[in-house]
Amino acid sequence: MTLLWLVAVLLPGPWCVLAHPGNDLFLPLRSRAVSPDNTCGGSNGYTCPSSMPCCSKYGWCGSTADYCGTECQATYGTCTAGTISPDNTCGGSNGYVCPSSLPCCSRYGFCGSTSEYCASPGCQPSYGTCSVAGSASSSTAISTTSSSQKSSSIASGTISPDNSCGGNNGYICPPNLQCCSRYGWCGVSDEYCTNGCQPEFGNCITSTGSPQPTTTAAVVNVLRPKIGSVPYGSVIYDCEVAGDIAITFDDGPYIYTSDLLDLLSSNGIKATFFIVGNLHGAIDQTPDWTSVIQRMNSEGHHIASHTWTHPDLTTLSSGERKDQMYQNEQAFVNILGKFPTYMRPPYLAFDDACQQDMSDLGYHVISTNLDTKDYENDSPTLIVNSEDTFNDTITQNSPSSSSFIVLNHDIHEQTVYTLAQYEIDRAKANGYRPVTVGECLGDPAGNWYRAGP
Hey, what amino acid is at 69? G
Per DSSP (E only), the strands in 206-250 are: 235-236, 244-250
The pLDDT value recorded for residue 32 is 61
Could you confirm whether 301 is annotated as catalytic?
A: no
Range list of H helices, 11-113: 65-68
- Is this model's pTM higher than 0.75 or not? no
CA 18, chain centre distance (Å): 47
Q: Which of 409, 410, 412, 443 is catalytic?
A: 409
- Give the chain's length: 453
Peptide bond into 53 cis (omega under 30): no
Sign of the alpha-carbon torsion through 89, 92, 96, 101: positive
Separation between Cα atoms, residue 438 and residue 381, nearest integer Å: 34
Separation between Cα atoms, residue 77 and residue 74, nearest integer Å: 5
Separation between Cα atoms, residue 154 and residue 72, nearest integer Å: 20
User: Cα dist. 332→265, 324, 363 in Å?
Assistant: 23, 13, 15
Separation between Cα atoms, residue 447 and residue 441, nearest integer Å: 11
Q: Is 373 left (phi over 0), alpha (psi -120 to 50) or beta?
A: left
Q: Are 188 and 175 in contact (CB under 8 A)?
A: no
Separation between Cα atoms, residue 392 and residue 395, nearest integer Å: 5
Separation between Cα atoms, residue 189 and residue 179, nearest integer Å: 8
β-strand pairing of 338-340 with 104-105: unpaired
Per DSSP (E only), the strands in 311-411 are: 338-340, 342-343, 364-366, 370-371, 404-409
Beta bridge partners, 171, equal 166
Could you confirm whether 250 is annotated as catalytic?
A: yes
β-strand pairing of 235-236 with 186-187: unpaired
Separation between Cα atoms, residue 431 and residue 437, nearest integer Å: 18
Separation between Cα atoms, residue 453 and residue 86, nearest integer Å: 33
SS3 state of residue 377:
coil
Other CB atoms within a 10 A radius of the CB of residue 129 amount to: 29
CA 331, chain centre distance (Å): 17
Q: Are 447 and 216 in contact (CB under 8 A)?
A: no
Q: Are 452 and 337 in contact (CB under 8 A)?
A: yes
Tens of each residue's pLDDT in the chain, 453 residues: 444 344 333 444 443 333 333 344 334 443 468 888 778 887 688 888 766 778 888 888 777 767 787 788 878 877 766 777 776 777 765 677 877 667 777 766 777 776 666 765 567 776 777 765 433 333 222 222 222 232 333 333 577 777 788 776 778 777 666 777 777 778 777 667 766 677 667 766 544 444 444 444 567 889 999 999 999 989 999 999 999 999 999 999 999 999 999 999 999 999 999 999 998 889 998 999 999 999 999 999 999 999 999 999 999 999 899 999 999 999 999 999 999 999 999 999 999 999 999 999 999 999 999 999 999 999 999 999 999 999 999 999 999 999 999 999 999 999 999 999 999 999 999 999 999 999 999 999 999 999 988
The pLDDT value recorded for residue 155 is 38
The pLDDT value recorded for residue 129 is 76
DSSP at 4: P
Range list of H helices, 133-189: none
User: Cα dist. 108→121, 160, 185 in Å?
Assistant: 12, 26, 30
Q: Are 399 and 430 in contact (CB under 8 A)?
A: yes
CA 282, chain centre distance (Å): 12
Query: What is the full DSSP assignment across 96-141?
Result: BBPPTTS-EE-TTSBEESSHHHHPTTT--GGGSB---TTSGGG-S-
Q: Which of 66, 250, 323, 410 is catalytic?
A: 250
Per DSSP (E only), the strands in 146-297 are: 152-154, 179-180, 186-187, 235-236, 244-250, 272-275
> What domains, with CATH codes, occur in the chain?
1-31 (no CATH), 147-212 (3.30.60.10), 220-451 (3.20.20.370)
Q: Are 387 and 402 in contact (CB under 8 A)?
A: no
The pLDDT value recorded for residue 51 is 65
